[in-house]
Amino acid sequence: MKPLCLTTALPFIESAPGSEPAIEGLDVRVLRGMKAGEAWPEDEADRVEVMFCTTPPPNLAKFKKLQWLQIESAGFSQLFPFGLNDGRITVTNARGIFDCPIAEWNIAMMINLARDLRTLIRHQDAHIWERSAQFTGEIRGRTVGIWGYGGIGRETARLAKVMGMRVHVLTRSGVKSRVDSTCIEGSGDPDGSLPDRYFTEQEKEEFLKGLDFLILALPLTKKTDGLLGEPDLRLLPKGAFVLNPARGPLIQEQALLAVLRDGHLGGAALDTHYAYPLPAEHPLWSFQHVILTPHISGTSFSPNFSTGLLNIFRLNAPRYLAGEPLLNIIPPTDLQ
């Protein structure tokens, strides 16, 4: 009997109700119509070895034969409450398929902030003819600092270099090549040669002091929660911009509000937040030069998303069945 895989109706599943995606060697059952936070059926819990979903069900502990959990996101902070840091269940993510859309968001937000497009749109809505925007900036020749140099950081660096920017990178792991089967062909910086300069964690102060834009491109873990406090943000030159498509709590909330209120930061673009949904009364809504998007930088609307997501699963399935190491494994120590 084939191992049973349960999955929710993810975007890559375009088949009609009653038919399931064919994954050789696995019995795949699609749980259609499931709502977030709803318990999954337990009638065959003793057969379930694999789950494919964004967030596991609240009754995850009932699936005692589970060995492999594939999530459809690159970030994994949604897994912290499930106690998966003991390594009993192998967890893999969708690293690679979000590189291009999030990098595009980063470039779009830098242009938006430099050109002050938010003000221009407000003027359009109010029917105001105001040409002071002709004196806004451009991103060519400016310095972007990318904190974290995985796939998203590397594709952002590639696009930034095309736009004529200087690229500085702070990374804990040093200069490494990144070539694997989940990378999108022609994207990123496989050999790590694009940045104008690399910085270590010990050089953080020098890194921050030289930036026009700071982009966060690292996961939220126990070590990175609250990574940037007010002293760090004030190391950025006055008028610099911060972009966070990674995870909101990487930046201490009150620290961010403080440097926005007193004008030290020129603005920010935030796709990840401190609460979901962000409450209507939250002060971040009211800053003139802050762009808020509702965690959509890694949009799944593109057909590349569905193809890439299913490809990762198809690549990993035979590895799982053969007892070989899986692609995109999240270290158990990061899942706490």
Q: For 220-278, how does the pLDDT look when each residue is reduced to its tens digit (9 = 90+)?
A: 999 999 999 999 999 999 999 999 999 999 999 999 999 999 999 999 999 999 999 99
Residue 19 has pLDDT above 80, yes or no: no
DSSP state of 67: -
Residues in Cβ contact with 316 at an 8 Å cutoff, skipping those fewer than 6 apart: 68, 70, 92, 326, 327, 328
Whole-number percent of the chain with pLDDT over 90: 75
| From 95, 142, 168, 247, active-site residue | 247
How high is the mean pLDDT of the chain? 91
To the nearest 10 degrees (0 to 180), the angle between helices 99-115 and 117-125 is: 70
The CATH code belonging to domain 4-96+302-334 is 3.40.50.720
Determine the Cα–Cα distance for residues 241 and 264; give it in Å rounded to an integer.
10
Task: Indicate if 247 belongs to the active site.
Answer: yes
Q: What is the pLDDT of residues 187-224, one digit of tens each?
A: 889 999 999 999 999 999 999 999 999 999 999 999 99
Residue 16 has pLDDT above 50, yes or no: no
Q: Where in the chain is the domain with CATH 3.40.50.720?
A: 4-96+302-334, 98-292
The CATH code belonging to domain 98-292 is 3.40.50.720
Q: In this structure, are residues 25 and 321 in contact, taking their beta carbons and an 8 Å threshold? A: yes
Determine the Cα–Cα distance for residues 142 and 239; give it in Å rounded to an integer.
13
Mean pLDDT, to the nearest integer, of 160-174? 95
**What does the pLDDT read at residue 267?**
98
304/284: higher pLDDT: 284
First-to-final CA distance of the chain: 34
**What does the pLDDT read at residue 175?**
76
Determine the Cα–Cα distance for residues 313 and 71; give it in Å rounded to an integer.
10
Q: Residue 110: pLDDT band by 50, 70, 90 thresholds?
A: very high
Kindly list the strands in the beta sheet with 90-92, ordered across the sheet, starting from the edge strand earlier in the chain. 27-31, 4-8, 48-53, 68-71, 90-92
Indicate the burial class of 67 (C-beta count within 10 angstroms; 0-12, 13-18, 19 or more). Answer: middle
| From 166, 295, 314, 319, active-site residue | 295
